[in-house]
Amino acid sequence: MSYSKHNTLLYVENLSVAYGDKVIIKDINFVEKDVVREGSVTGQVIAFVGRSGRGKSTLFRALTGLVKPTTGKILIADTLTDGGNDAKEVEEGDVGFVDQKYTLFRNKTVYEALLFALRNQKMTKEEKHDKIMSYLSEWGLEKAKDQYPNELSGGQRQRTAIIEQIFCSGHYMVLDEPFSGLDVGNIEDAKNAFNLISSLHSFNTIMYSTHDIELAVELADSIYVIGYPTIDGEHAHYGTIVKHFDMKALNLAWKEFGLGHLEIVKQIKTAMLAS
Amino acid sequence: MKYLVKPFEDVGKNTARMIVIFWIGALLLIWFLTSMGERHLFPSPQQVLTGFVELYNEGLVVHIASSLWLCVIAIFVAIIISLILTYLSTIPVIKPIAIAVSKLRYLPLTGITFYLAILISNARTMQIWVLVTFMSTYLTTSLLSMVNAIGEQEFDHARSLKCNRWEVLWEVVVKGRIDHVIEVIRQNLAIVWMMLVTVESILVAAGGLGFLIKNSDKFMNHGRIIALQIVILTLGLSIDFILSFIRKTFFRYSKI
Ligand SMILES: Nc1ncnc2c1ncn2[C@@H]1O[C@H](COP(=O)(O)OP(=O)(O)OP(=O)(O)O)[C@@H](O)[C@H]1O
Ligand SMILES: [Mg+2]
């Protein structure tokens, strides 16, 4: 499948995050560019895998601007200007974030929450209403429209959280373990959601973490393994990128899960166990 | 029958109700039995009833209204003060003030009344401010722990939706926790109610339940005292019930 890389969408250089004296992640460098394929709108789907406690959630908090990097910088494309070639440092609110627990406003119904997410858009009341209703039906949430978070199932909460972020943030979205606690049906829904987001705009970039390596390999076109690096034969106790798989270059992206994918799963597991 | 005395055993709703009825019956029975002879600790139901009628004739309703009004005003002022302190405690410079106010709950009543007495001459105003001072410290303590209990994800969620810090405060802490505020008031109500009656009997003003208690004490009228206790207990429980009812009816999402 032919593709080409265009504007840089995400540029992370020398990133580290420490809580107090404790360095959680360090020496993180990576670049993701806009992938363009003939004949279809293709966003970027980037997976982060790694064993528990290696710093995936911490990296995500940095990527979403919720925690300030201790060193280094994170640049995203300034999509508000035309051409999309300007870069800006990430700030809170630039990158959508759906956390591990699908947190929502506890005092807002699904409809109210989505209306709140649209509060800064220059649209009339009717336009907002129509937009919300069309998303609700597309994502199978019409019946839950007037329910509060504590009256929703895990899957419904997650979808509400995703739509909120689509409404509010630009092209970037980070999802921390979006597949945990979902049944097979919900996982299909979430996968469809990924495809939907990705097909909306070429700049759309989904970053997610998962403990399900198969799902990472199946969905992502770029996979990063976060783990403790081995330096001079010794494990260091901070997370960093220990391996990167560019599924596009490997000619495995946007394809049915096959033998090639299985081989990558194996390699990822080896890399994870060693870190 | 054995399952009735088994720890953690889940008995049905009806059985649970029967157990409650059994205990109420037992209580009444004990009361009757222990108050039958010539010398007894508790007044007989008959005496209590007489006490009740006496109280009513002396204007019990007016006294109740007076106490309730004092309670409402004191809670209202105290909750406003505590809420402002608590909401602003999210700002680093204000935080120590809120914490200090919460620590003041260890101050003794007498010290505070002494200083307030210098400032205020009217007994009624004095009652209000003693109560307000005390309740503010308790309410602030509970409200601060309410804010501390809010998980970081909730703040992050609001921030990821482009809320600035003031909006985060407004959406997550203020609007998102109104039901908790009612619950905090309810949980502190017992202290307030007890304090109120005490304060009324120490700083005698126009009237109120505390004033009635003091009077009854003087006459050593047992029937009256118990009747009054029952009135005070019932009133307190009713306010408790009303607050809980308000929270559940107006805040459907509120499962605390
Ligand atoms: N606020 C904090 N203060 C101090 N240490 C923290 C804080 N948050 C996380 N950590 C530590 O940072 C490390 C990485 O945590 P993080 O949540 O990023 O891991 P993770 O890779 O997301 O794990 P999991 O897969 O279990 O979610 C852990 O050792 C954790 O104890
Ligand atoms: Mg995590």
Q: What is the pLDDT of residue B41?
A: 75
Tens digit of pLDDT for each residue in A233-266? 888 899 999 999 999 888 888 888 888 899 999 9
Q: Is A34 helix (H, G, I), strand (E, B) or coil?
A: strand
Q: Six-digit token pair at A177? A: 């373990």
Q: Are strands A44-49 and A240-246 parallel, antiparallel or unpaired?
A: unpaired
Contacts 24+ apart (CB under 8 A), A189-194: A189/A139, A189/A140, A189/A155, A189/A159, A190/A155, A190/A158, A191/A219, A193/A139, A193/A159, A193/A162, A194/A45, A194/A219
Report how far ligand 1's centroid is from the alpha carbon of B139 (Å). Answer: 34
Report strand pairing: A71-77 vs A4-19: antiparallel
Q: Which residue in A has a C-alpha nearest to residue B165's C-alpha?
A: A92
- State the pLDDT at residue A188: 85
Strand blocks (E) in A51-158:
71-77, 87-89, 95-98
Report which protein residue has its CA nearest ligand 1's atom 12: A24
Judged against a pLDDT cut of 80, whether residue A80 lies above it is answered with no
CATH homologous superfamily for B45-250? MetI-like (1.10.3720.10)
Q: Is the pLDDT of residue A83 over 60?
A: no
* Ligand 1 pocket member A61 (CB < 6 A): no
pLDDT band at B45, cuts 50/70/90? Answer: confident
A53 CB within 6 A, ligand 1: yes
- Ligand closest to A51 (CA) is 1
Please tell me the distance from the alpha carbon of residue A63 to that of residue A42, in angstroms, as a whole number.
21
Residue whose Cα lies nearest atom 2 of ligand 1: it is A19
- The helix/strand/coil state of A182 is coil
> What band does A82 get if pLDDT is binned at 50, 70 and 90?
low
**Residue A84 pLDDT exceeds 70:** no
Identify all chain B residues contacting A96, using CB atoms and an 8 Å cutoff.
160
Q: Which residue of chain B comes nearest to A61, CA vs CA?
A: B156
Task: Work out the pLDDT band at B120, boundaries 50, 70, 90.
Answer: confident
Domain containing A95 equals 4-273
A210 CA distance to ligand 2 middle (Å): 9
What's the pLDDT score for residue B81? 96
Percentages (nearest 5) of helix, strand, coil residues in chain B: 80, 0, 20
Query: pLDDT tens digits for B55-67?
Result: 899 888 998 998 8
Calpha distance B111→B233 (Å, rounded): 28
pLDDT top residue among B42 and A77: A77
A30-76 pLDDT, tens per residue? 999 988 888 888 899 999 999 999 999 999 999 999 999 999 999 99
pLDDT of residue B80: 96
In chain B, what residues touch A168 (CB-CB under 8 Å)? 160-162
Confidence of residue A2 (pLDDT cuts 50, 70, 90): confident
Interchain contact, B253 vs A117, CB within 8 Å: no
pLDDT tens profile A190-214: 888 888 888 888 889 999 999 999 9
Q: Is the pLDDT of residue B109 over 80?
A: no
Distance CA A131, CA A10 (A): 29
Atom of ligand 1 nearest to the CA of A54: 21
At residue A97, the pLDDT reads 93
Q: Which residues from chain B sit within 8 angstroms of residue A104, using beta carbons?
A: 157
**CA–CA separation, A230 and A240 (whole Å):** 10
- What pLDDT sits at residue A30? 94
Strands A230-231 and A87-89: unpaired
ipTM exceeds 0.95: no
CA A238 to centroid of ligand 1, rounded, Å: 10
How sure is the predictor about B168, in pLDDT bands with cuts at 50, 70 and 90? very high
Q: What is the pLDDT of residue B201?
A: 81
Count up the domains in chain A and report the number.
1
Name every chain B residue with its beta carbon within 8 A of the beta carbon of A101. 153
Q: Does position B219 have pLDDT exceeding 80, yes or no?
A: no
pLDDT above 90 covers a percentage of chain B that reads 49
pLDDT averaged over every residue in chain B? 89
Question: Which of helix, strand or coil describes residue A89?
Answer: strand
Instruction: Give the pLDDT of residue B210.
Output: 83
Looking at the CA of A24, name the nearest ligand: 1
pLDDT of res. A140: 84
Q: Is the distance from the beta carbon of residue A55 to the nearest atom of ligand 1 less than 6 Å?
A: yes
- Under a CB-based contact definition with an 8 Å cutoff, are residues A44 and A60 in contact? no
Given this model, what pLDDT does residue A81 score?
Answer: 58
Query: To the nearest whole angstrom, how far is the Cα of A270 from the nearest Cα of chain B?
Result: 32
Where residue A174 falls among pLDDT bands split at 50, 70, 90? Answer: very high
How does residue A1 score in pLDDT terms, banded at 50, 70 and 90? low
Cβ under 8 Å to B: A residues 106-165: 106-107, 116-117, 120, 148-151, 161, 164-165
Per-residue pLDDT, B156: 93
Of B96, B245, B89, B87, nearest in space to B176 by CA: B87
CB burial readout B74-102, b (16+ within 10 A) else e: bbebbbebbbebbbebbeeeeeeebeebb
pLDDT tens per residue, range B16-28: 999 999 999 999 9
Give me the percent of chain B exceeding a pLDDT of 70. Answer: 97
Does the beta-carbon distance from B156 to A164 stay under 8 Å? no
CATH of the domain at A128: 3.40.50.300
Would you call B253 an interface residue with chain A, using a CB distance cutoff of 8 Å? yes
Test A99 with B172 for CB contact under 8 angstroms: no
Q: What does the mean pLDDT of chain A come to?
A: 89
Higher pLDDT, residue A57 or B120: A57
